[in-house]
Every structure is written in C-alpha cells, then in structure tokens.
Structure 1
C-alpha cells in the first residue's frame, strides 16, 4: 500500500508529500527532506514544495478529473517489440464517482489502432479516494509494441475513459478545443534491417536522388510470358543519406520503346506509411509498386523508370551517379521487358 523504499517515495511524486519512516529503516541523507516529527528511531518526513508548480500552465483538462500539465516521450522512434513510455505531469482536480482508465494508442494514417494499452492512473498504486486534488503528480504510461507492428509513422493519442461504460471524459485544450483524445505527437516504428545477403542479390543501381537518398538496388517480379493485363511488381531499396524535412513522392512508370507512358504508380514510400521525412541517415527502406499493363498495350520492348518529386510543385529531384555525373530526373531500371501478344 506504500512505497517500498525511501528512494522510491522521494523520486515519485505520486506517493504524496509525507512518509512514515519505521524504526530501523535505512534513509539516505537528503537535505531537501524536512523532518516533521521524530520519536526515537521513527520519523515522519515531508518532501520540499515547489511554489511555482501551482502556477504551471496546463495543456488542458480531461473532464473535470485531471488537469494535464506536461508530458515527455523519451524516444520518438521504436522497433517493433519494444516498449513506448510517456511520462506525464498531472494535477487531480476532482475524484470521479466511478473508476476511470487511461487509453494510450498508436493510430496509423487510416486511423486504425496499431497498439493500445489501458492503464490505471498512477499505476494503480493507490485507490482514487487517495488522490490529492490540487497536487501535481507524475504518471508513467507504458505501451508495449507488438513484434508484428507494421513499420511507419503513427499518431500517439491519450484518452481517459469510464471503466463501466467506456465513455470518454472529453479533453478540452487550453484554447478550448474539445476532443475525445489528446494528440501527444507522432512516433516512428522503424523498419527492420534488411540482411546484406538479400541486398547483395539485387540488381545494383547506386543512383543518387537529390542530396538525401540513394537507390541501392531493385527487383522486378513478373509473370512469364508477359502479356497485356498482367501485373509487374517493382521492388525498390533506398538508402537514406541524411534527414530531410520534406515528404517526397516516388513514381514508377512503364514506358514503351518510344518513351510513351503506358502505366504509372505514384505514392509516398510504403503506400504512404513511411514518408521520406522520417527516414534516418544510413537506414535502408524497402518499397514496392505494382504496375498493370493495359489490355491494349502493343507487343514489344518496354522499360521502367523511377524517381522522386515534391508533391506540391511536381518538381522532380535530380539524379546523379556515384561520380556526381548528372543522369536527368529519373532512373532507368536495368531490366529488359518484352510484352507478348495477348492470347485467349
């Protein structure tokens, strides 16, 4: 029902301001702790009070229960299978008549939940009747991530809900905007490393795109014979050379022998889930695009070109080889494609 050690009580504000020290319990020297009462080897001590804490600006309120002051996310990028934590500064304002629970979630670009944890406030260290209205407490919220969690960029959301009904206690921000959840920010789930032997089996390209990425290699999967109506899967493997703050779009195009556009697919990397603005220097990113050959495509030789552009201006990024020689605004993949006549 209480902290196991003096150090735990001193470090965690959620244990309250006062501690009874039993006879024989070891207490390390701490000049900031005030002794209020002593009887023999036993004592009652108090934590120092920070006068400025009461005047902290709040980010908002969860119902009339919690004043949400501040929070920290120690890391912003995680591997699948790791644990995400949020350290929040909270001021209880009113003990609710029914139990409440935190819901910490990751949501993808389609608003699907990638991970979720339901957590008792203050790690259920003490019942809500012992919450101290007006006292600023620290609550550490932990979200385990599945080893199968898909890599990408996720929104991290926090909500407070009634246990019995599942109803949300609305969050009202400092600028009086209301929602069921508070948006804590975005986190990156890192794509697993690609084995060197897999990369070594690719068709090498090593063309530089702008100043931030290199197309290391590519692979094309297609049926044989290749006929109109068939699908060509283009796999691209990029290496990030440096961080950028821009969300670039990748294009993959199928051209005939005269350079006419036959099929095209444009998208942010990994179907929009792994934008270039979260690529880290040295990271290798696997991406794939499907090109469908039109039914009326003529037999003959075809090629695939790829590149990147800024989606707002449609300006393509320049391509250079390893020596810095300009190669235009696209990369021609080194694959020979022959489309045969379609036969029923």
Structure 2
C-alpha cells in the first residue's frame, strides 16, 4: 500500500525572510543566478565536550536572476574544515525545494548539519560552500562566483570560523597603549605602540593589537599612513592584519591578533610634525569600514593617532 499523495495547485507562498534579520549577511553571486546572502550559526565555539554532537548550519540563498540560464537545478556542497578532517553535508540546493520554483528575490533557507568528530582536535574550524550546476544536457560542473565587475573569481565561499576545544591562542596587549576603537562592531583596535627600531633608524614600527568582536564577512585589509603636518601621506603600509594565513573572515569571536606595520621615514622626520592614520577596508570594493572611539559621537572611516614615539 502507498500513502496517499497530496497535490497542491496554485500560487507558491511568499517567502518573507528579510535580509536584515539574517545573523551573518554575505554576498556571493553564482553564475547560475543564485546568490548566497548569509548564514546562521548557533555557537561561536565548540568545547571539548561537544565531540560527537551535531553542529547545525543554516544558509540563506536567493535567485536574483531567474533568466540567467536554462539549466534546471543545482546541488549545494557544504564542508566543515577542521584541523585534521573535512566533514561534508552535500545535497540538493534548498533541501530539495526545486530551483525552478524559486521566484526572483525570494530568500530560501538551506539547512545542513555536521557530526563533530570524537575526540575534537583543538584549533579552528570553518565552512566552505558552493554549487554544482546541473545542466539540462546532463553535465555537472561547479558554478563560478561573479564579482561586482562581472568577473569569475572562484567557485566556493569560505566563512563561519568556530573555535574547537579552546584551541585558539590569545595574545596579550599589556605592552600597548589603549585605543578602544571599534570597526562596525566586528573588530576592535585595542592597543597601539610606535617606535623607531635601533637597528632600523630610518623606519617607524607600529605594533597593533586587534580583537574580533564578531565574525567578519570578508578578509579586510589594514592601512597605516604616516601623515605630515599638511595631511599628506609620506609613507604607508597596507596589509592583512592577521597575515595571509589568518584573514579576518576566519577570526573567531574573542580572538586576539597582533600585527606590525613598518613605515619608511622621510629624511627630515620630526615626530611632532607627523601623525598616523589607521583603518580597515574591503580589498575588492575599496570601502573603508566606519570606526568609533569611546566618547566619539560621529563615525569616521579612519583613526588619527597623535604622539608618535621619538
């Protein structure tokens, strides 16, 4: 005997999820017209006693270009990358809700779950996701990701860092002067110190102490400018504040990071005539993050620091 089937005829219900209610917004637009607009995670860290439990991940997607192709569907791959394992939960996009039924700009949730290994290896984990494009001719290929200028720059999104088993080391800022500047409630510049190294008298070394307040959607670049008394840049250093191996979108909430900027000094350098300008920006768009310091009413897109060490 078969259970009775139910056939529903009529208009599909409106999906009313709003972008501003998504826990972690993202923007990754695939070549088949599907866009990953964000995700949700229930925890910032998995302690050792979470070994063997399921870690849920919710992805939010929409089809913002229903006429992008004649291809009929897609599979979504989702990987949890731990220090020593790749865990997978791959399957139909939208948990089986056919892509052909998605209306333009509807937001569809896609739920995945990962069984954490036993025992948990201390360290950091993160997610990778992307689409396998199922063409009408039967071919299967990865869907590329399109940037703001229409170029295909990759085929997977990396996001959602999680600390495992208290395995992310914290660094001290005790030797830095307090700053307390906050960039869009995601990253704080907690401290700073500048000095002229004895072995490099023609350079100024700037030590920076960062703290992740929440997960970041992209890998930001830091800039440190040396300004003269007319406000002109005489030296600068742009760099990933966590280095190439630890970009900001893989910083776990609460993680502390130190970085160093080295600025070439002009021959007539006099500390009283110079200031530092510091900030963060998105490397693709160039947008600078807004920043506020304690007691500051208005936001700015950079931080000015006086009092350069002699």
TM-score (norm 1): 0.43
Greater RCO, CA 8 A, separation 6+: 2
Bigger radius of gyration among the two: 1
TM-score (norm 2): 0.46
